[in-house]
Chains A and B, each alone.
Chain A
Amino acid sequence: GAVVSQHPSRVICKSGTSVKIECRSLDFQATTMFWYRQFPKQSLMLMATSNEGSKATYEQGVEKDKFLINHASLTLSTLTVTSAHPEDSSFYICSAPVTAQETQYFGPGTRLLVL
């Protein structure tokens, strides 16, 4: 099956700093990638759709200036949490769809802790 990687797997940062999370499709190209957020013992909430070569589409209630998304190539999307605060601490997961298989492949996730 297709493989999606994320980097870093976990990050601890101070409040007010920015953190960049990378999502890569390793053996296929993805014109679209999805970014999810998951709080402890809760389900995945879609934050935004990352579109290669164009602006990301954000879900209702997600601040686009807070969560910057860049999809500069067909295999890489980045999520930058700007001016992070403790309430941004969460598990961030990306996914990339493989249209022919009608499914999405998920990265292993990035755990962010903001102190």
Chain B
Amino acid sequence: KQEVTQIPAALSVPEGENLVLNCSFTDSAIYNLQWFRQDPGKGLTSLLLIQSSQREQTSGRLNASLDKSSGRSTLYIAASQPGDSATYLCAVRTGNTDKLIFGTGTRLQVFP
């Protein structure tokens, strides 16, 4: 059974810092991996999608890497801003279904 874990569970940093959020999964046979952002009491917004054959994806200040063989992904946030404060969730899609298995989340707070 696929299990997805995220470290750290919570993170509080001053703005301007570069951050690394970690995601690990137990079954390396994934179809793709996605990083989402969730603001309090809201739904999810997709940030980056990495296919199993890819090593990384970039969007603006965000860069996500994937090492499928070791079951790890990282989300790098450059020059963090208070507006980045949210919960970040990684999710893996396995096999031939659309099901997503979500990680435990990292609650990020960036203070001015």
A: residues with CB less than 8 A from B are 4, 6, 32, 34, 36, 41-46, 49, 91, 93, 95, 97, 99, 102-109, 111
Assuming A43-B102, A44-B102, A104-B98, is B89 touching A93 (CB within 8 A)?
A: no
User: Which residues of the partner chain B approach A6 to less than 8 Å between Cβ atoms?
Assistant: 43
DSSP class of B's interface residues: helix, strand, loop or mixed?
Answer: strand
Q: How many residues of B contact A (CB 8 A)?
A: 22
Assuming A43-B105, A46-B99, A103-B49, is B32 touching A93 (CB within 8 A)?
A: no
DSSP class of A's interface residues: helix, strand, loop or mixed?
Answer: strand
User: Which residues of the partner chain B approach A103 to less than 8 Å between Cβ atoms?
Assistant: 34, 46, 49
User: Which residues of the partner chain B approach A99 to less than 8 Å between Cβ atoms?
Assistant: 98
Distance in angstroms from B63 CB to nearest chain A CB is 18
A43, B34: Cα distance in complex, Å: 14
User: Which residues of the partner chain A approach B36 to less than 8 Å between Cβ atoms?
Assistant: 106
Chain A's closest residue to B51 (CB) is A102
